[in-house]
Amino acid sequence: MDRPAWAPPGIDLSVPSVSRIYDYYLGGSHNFEVDREAARRAMEFLPGLPKIMQANRAFMRRAVRHAIGEGVTQFLDIGSGIPTFGNVHEVAFAAAPDARVVYVDHDPVAVAHSKAVLDGDERVDIAAADLRKPKDVLRSSPVTRLLDLDRPVALLLVAVLHFLEDADRPYEAVEELREALAPGSLLILTHASFEGIPVPEAQADGTVGVYRDIRNPLVMRSRDEVTRFFDGFEMVEPGLVSMPHWRPDTPPEQEDPYAFSGFAGVGRKG
C-alpha cells in the first residue's frame, strides 16, 4: 500500500484506528481502506453512526461557545482525533481570539496531522499523551506552555471515555484531571450508551463487536455510569441529556433519530 504523505512513518497501515474511522464517518480524507472497511462493518448494524458523530461535533461546538460565554477561554481536548472542519480551536478563536487550546491524542496519525494543521499558530498545540495517564497529559509541554491551571479550563472528553474499559480506571483518570483544574473549570463530555439508540440493543451490540474485533473495545455505559464521571462537578442546565437536547440551536425534533444516541453534559467545578 502506498503511504500517503500525511501518514507518519512507523504506523501499521493494516490496523484500523478509532480516530481514522471517526474521520471517515465525518466525511474526512485521512483514513485508509482498513478503516473504511471497519466503519462499513459497524454501519451494517448502526447505519446512523455518521449522524451520531455529527451530533457529537455539533454539541461540542455549542459547549465551547457556552464556555466562552462563561469567561472560560482555555481548552484541553483529550482524545481530540484528526482535526476536521469546525474543530475546537476554530470555534474558540472565532468567539475569543485570545483563547488557548491544547489537543491531546495518543494516535500517531492524529498527532501528526494535527501538527500539520496547527503549524504556525502560537495559541494552539497538540500533545502526544494518553487519557489513561493524566500526569503525562498535565506535564506535557503544550499544557505547561499554553494553559494556566490556576485559572478555569474547559476539559473536553468528547466521544473518548467509551474507549476506556473499567480496567483502565476511567473514573480515576477523570478525577485526577478534575483535581488539577481550578474552580470554575468545566467538564464537557459525551459518552456512548445503548440508551437512545433507535434499534434493538442486540442489533447495536453488533457494532460493539466490530470495535472489539479491532481491539478497541467500545464500552456502552448507562446513564448512572456516565453521571459518575461528573462527581465533584455541578451539572450545568439541562443536565445529562441526549446531544440534540443540550442547549440546541435548532428544534431537536428536526434531528435524525440516531442523533439521540448516548449522553452529553457539561459540569462546573465549584
86: phi > 0 → left, psi -120 to 50 → alpha, else beta; which? left
Least confident interval from 58-67, 103-112, 152-161: 103-112
**120 vs 224: CA distance, rounded Å:** 43
Between the alpha carbon of residue 265 and those of residues 8, 94, 111, 159, 248, the distances in Å are: 34, 23, 26, 12, 13
**139 vs 135: CA distance, rounded Å:** 6
High-pLDDT (> 70) share of the chain, %:
99
DSSP letters along 182-225, please? Answer: PTT-EEEEEE--STT-SS-HHHHHHHHHHHHHTT-------HHH
- Average pLDDT on 159-187 reads 98
Residue for grid cell 459518575: 228
Label residue 197 by pLDDT band (50, 70, 90).
very high
Question: What are 101-129's pLDDT values in tens digits?
Answer: 999 999 888 898 898 888 889 999 999 99
Amino acid (one-letter) located at 127 = A
Pairing status of strand 186-191 against strand 263-269? antiparallel
- Average pLDDT on 27-32 reads 90
High-pLDDT (> 90) share of the chain, %:
86
Nearest to 199 by CA among 258, 148, 254: 258
- Which residue would you say has higher pLDDT here, 112 or 54? 54
**120 vs 257: CA distance, rounded Å:** 40
- At residue 35, φ and ψ (nearest 5 deg) are -70, -45
Which domains does the chain carry? 55-208+220-269 (3.40.50.150)
- Average pLDDT on 20-31 reads 92
Between the alpha carbon of residue 58 and those of residues 105, 192, 253, the distances in Å are: 20, 15, 15
* Per-residue cell: 181: 483544574
Q: Which pLDDT does position 1 carry in this prediction? A: 57
The pTM is what?
Answer: 0.95
- Average pLDDT on 220-228 reads 98
